[in-house]
Amino acid sequence: MRKKIVAGNWKMNKTFQEADDLLFEIADELNDKGRGEVDVIICPPFPYLEMAYDIASDNDFLVGAQNFSQWESGAFTGEISASMLHSMGITHSILGHSERRTYFGETDKVIAKKVDLALQHNVVPIYCCGEVLAEREAGRHFDVVRQQVDEALFHLGKEAIQMVIVAYEPVWAIGTGVTASSEQAQEMHAFIRGLFTQKYGAEVSAEISILYGGSCNAKNAAELFSNPDVDGGLIGGASLKAADFVAIVNSFE
Ligand code: 13P
């Protein structure tokens, strides 16, 4: 179902104590300032998921993972499975982040497997797509995103696809301070929604939440979120400060 969503991707940041403090600060800020109609999802590193889940259960946010294994279970040392996440109450997971693609060699084929496992285990996938700078400069950004969405998601049926949240994260905007302009974000989000319309029909595509990620902050969120096809944000750096993150949550009109 289409919703307004702000998700925080903490990436590999914070000690246990810092994470504990930040979770309580975010909970307090949300209690003070509210979150309106917005679903707030915090995605801390794996070791902090249980703590985050405990704090979330008395407060107003959800908890997601940043990734999980492409395998169901078994002899995969160091891996964490979708069913483990589900068994501890984790409802969401980021999948296919560009950092996973770049540093860990994740392909759309692998990510498609993870999407399937997520849905089998009732974990909502937050599927990331987006082009690198050279691809945008070469005018290939639409083709790149089309291929990513096609290969990782379009094997799903009409019901399953409506469980998926999409995050458009142009790689050149991640952690660079260079945000996509409001026009660039809307143009790509409308394009992505159009892909879903072609494949699944307008009724289904109208139900899919498409988030923007890449140097989204308390200053630019309101403009980005004012676009008709931008349903919220996937926030990296600015999710590590409670006041900034909650200001982003409260950036919808
Ligand atoms: P930044 O907000 O730090 O650019 O990171 C975005 C991101 O990668 C969220 O997944």
Query: Is the CB of residue 236 below 6 angstroms from any atom belonging to ligand 1?
Result: yes
Q: Does the annotation count 159 as an active-site position?
A: no
Query: Is the CB of residue 248 below 6 angstroms from any atom belonging to ligand 1?
Result: no
The structural domains of the chain, ordered by start, are 4-249 (3.20.20.70)
- Round to whole Å and give the CA distance between 220 and 200: 32
Atom of ligand 1 nearest to the CA of 214: 4
Q: What pLDDT score was predicted for residue 34?
A: 87
Q: What pLDDT score was predicted for residue 1?
A: 85
Of 97, 121, 141, 189, the active-site residue reads 97
Q: Does the annotation count 169 as an active-site position?
A: yes
Please write the tens of the pLDDT for every residue from 101-143: 999 999 999 999 999 999 999 999 999 999 999 999 999 999 9
Query: Is the CB of residue 234 below 6 angstroms from any atom belonging to ligand 1?
Result: yes
Q: What pLDDT score was predicted for residue 253?
A: 85
Weakly modelled stretches of the chain, pLDDT under 50: none
- How far is the centre of ligand 1, averaged over its atoms, from the C-alpha of 74 (Å)? 32
Query: Is the CB of residue 148 below 6 angstroms from any atom belonging to ligand 1?
Result: no
Of 99, 121, 169, 189, the active-site residue reads 169
Atom of ligand 1 nearest to the CA of 173: 4
Q: What pLDDT score was predicted for residue 14?
A: 98
